[in-house]
Chains A and B, each alone.
Chain A
Amino acid sequence: MKKQQAILEKDKKKESSEEVVLELQDLNKSFDDNHVLKHFSMKLYKGENLVVMGKSGSGKSVMIKCLVGLMEADSGKIIVMHHDITSLNQESLDILRADIGFLFQGSALYDSMTVRENLEFPLRHHYKKLGKNVNTETLVIEALKNVGLAHTLDLMPAELSGGMQRRVALARTLILQPKIILYDEPTSGLDPITAKEIIILMQDIQKKYNTSSLIITHDVDCARVIADRMILLIDGTNYAEGTFEELSASKDPKVKAFFKQ
């Protein structure tokens, strides 16, 4: 009930502002003969948690990488905060990227650096965004406190557990205070309890900084907890869209297959 209310509230917000922070239009991407994305379109509204679900190899990761310019789409438009990133040069793309946080599937901590250096790394180039008088030390400690790992400051990533690594990675994503956070399988490779911790953390962050989140997952539990809205990515297209409840109640066999467990 509560959740539905929240969604309703958000829907109202959307109706009033209708602020789209991220939009994909007619995105196509293929590797040789394998057409991963076919005319994929979606919108991410400000302050919402959008979950994109799909089978492995359905092009979720490809889609999210196209969003930040790590991959180039064959055709289509990617509009992030009113900028079409396909037409941006490297410099403006970097500036834009400071507003997009990206949590990678395997945490992707730099394993030759300590936790502190990992967190400082994004600041090297994006410090301008935060103002010149920022003390990186306090920023790093604050970000680590947010994920409850302030004591790991001088450890190497290899010395941390998978869950801790994921949290450090989250802290690294958050240190630039992004407006949009992209999560690539945030719970993959973690046990259910740790996964839950991460999900709670994600929700906290969302509340605290009022960020918009795009979460890519195939984990139904994760989607149930966090999703304001869901998109099912099947055969490279936007197959179904709606709240978790709407989709889980769907009669479509392909949609049903996701929730049957």
Chain B
Amino acid sequence: MKNTNSQKIRLGLFVIIGTTLFVLAVYLIGQKQNMFQNTFTISAYFQNVNGLQKGNNVRYSGINIGTVKNIVMTNDSTIKVDMNIEEGIIAHIKKNAIATIGSDGLVGNMIVNIVPGKGTDEVIADGDIIASYSKIGADDILSTLSVSSENAAILTSDLIKITDAMIKGKGTLAVLLNDTIMAKELRQSVTNLKVASRDASNTISEINQIITSLKTNDNTVLGMLLNDSVSGQNLKVIVSNLEASSKQIQNVIANIDTTIVDFNSGDGAYNYIVNDTTLVNSLQSTLKNINEGTDKFNQNMEALKHNFLIRGYFRKLEKQKEKEERKKQQ
């Protein structure tokens, strides 16, 4: 046992450093999990938690503010999620905040995002229950719908410009008159537009019907969802957009109709048109765009029909049609 004292010191250092490292690691992990901070609990109800687990992070406007404490089924379709939230953040969360479940990155952990609600409200308190917003499939389709209706709006404004120009006599009348293919295309697109706008207005009225029926049946899950949640609002916005754009389309159609009438009556400035080839080209591309746009619009409408929310409604319609046909056959 030579150098016993220096051995003891080194052993002591070894043990102390090791223990310190361990305690530090435990502390750091604990800090990440808010184990050593005062926390309060809030809850939210979800229909689907998409694989959320105990200990997953809770974020408020993107900042980690706590962890999921517990996940319990309260009845056959509702899941209560309790969250531990850092006490320091309490002053910033209002009672109208909305909890959603999202994922952290492409294949990351599930997280609870708390989004501030619109307007002002009281500060949240321990044990409060905040509103939730479950992501459902309709969401995605509705968002693409809104994009396509925006596209339609751009398209129609372009069309308006062109038709304005036509009405003012700058149009490419001679070319259009001689170019029968072009004229046919124009007619075709006009009829397409008509069909599309008719479809759109049909769908819109149908959606309106659904919404009103849902509104009247507040007790259904869907009714709850649409009335309370953001998706309902979104749906309304989109529907109004759709209405607006279809009105615009109708305007365009009316404009085009008048131009065509002008064509037929033989009015217009031949010279302008003969020289103005760029205008012709742009008109052609615009027509193409219109065709594509209406195609997409129809696709969206199809998608909307297939969406599970509204699918049932369309199916009912189809079934009714079939029934009527059967009756007729009989």
Docked complex Cα distance between A114 and B2 (Å):
9
Q: Which of A184-209 contact B (CB under 8 A)?
A: none
What is the size, in residues, of chain A's interface with B at 8 Å between Cβ atoms?
3
Q: Which residues of A contact B2 (CB under 8 A)?
A: 114
CB A113 to nearest CB in B, in angstroms, measures: 7
Contact of B181 with A by CB under 8 A: no
Q: Which residues of A contact B1 (CB under 8 A)?
A: 113-114, 117
Query: Count of A-B contacts with CB under 8 A?
Result: 4
The digit string for B1-45, where 1 denotes a CB below 8 A from any CB of A, is: 110000000000000000000000000000000000000000000
Q: Which residues of B contact A114 (CB under 8 A)?
A: 1-2
Q: Which of A69-91 contact B (CB under 8 A)?
A: none
Docked complex Cα distance between A240 and B101 (Å):
97
Closest to B1 in A: A117
Closest to B2 in A: A114
CB B316 to nearest CB in A, in angstroms, measures: 91
CB B308 to nearest CB in A, in angstroms, measures: 78
Closest to A117 in B: B1
CB A217 to nearest CB in B, in angstroms, measures: 35
The digit string for A111-150, where 1 denotes a CB below 8 A from any CB of B, is: 0011001000000000000000000000000000000000
The digit string for B194-225, where 1 denotes a CB below 8 A from any CB of A, is: 00000000000000000000000000000000
CB A206 to nearest CB in B, in angstroms, measures: 34
The digit string for B173-210, where 1 denotes a CB below 8 A from any CB of A, is: 00000000000000000000000000000000000000
Docked complex Cα distance between A117 and B1 (Å):
8
Q: Which residues of B contact A117 (CB under 8 A)?
A: 1
Docked complex Cα distance between A114 and B1 (Å):
8
CB B218 to nearest CB in A, in angstroms, measures: 84
Docked complex Cα distance between A117 and B2 (Å):
11
CB B82 to nearest CB in A, in angstroms, measures: 59
CB A102 to nearest CB in B, in angstroms, measures: 24
Closest to A116 in B: B1
Closest to A156 in B: B2
Q: Which of B36-62 contact A (CB under 8 A)?
A: none
CB B240 to nearest CB in A, in angstroms, measures: 90
Q: Which residues of B contact A113 (CB under 8 A)?
A: 1
CB A153 to nearest CB in B, in angstroms, measures: 13
CB A122 to nearest CB in B, in angstroms, measures: 17
CB A44 to nearest CB in B, in angstroms, measures: 38
CB B2 to nearest CB in A, in angstroms, measures: 8
By Cβ-Cβ distance, the 4 closest A-B pairs, closest first, are A117-B1, A113-B1, A114-B1, A114-B2
- A residues sitting closer than 8 Å to B (CB atoms) are 113-114, 117
In the complex, 4 of the A-B residue pairs with CB atoms within 8 angstroms, ordered by the A residue number, are A113-B1, A114-B1, A114-B2, A117-B1
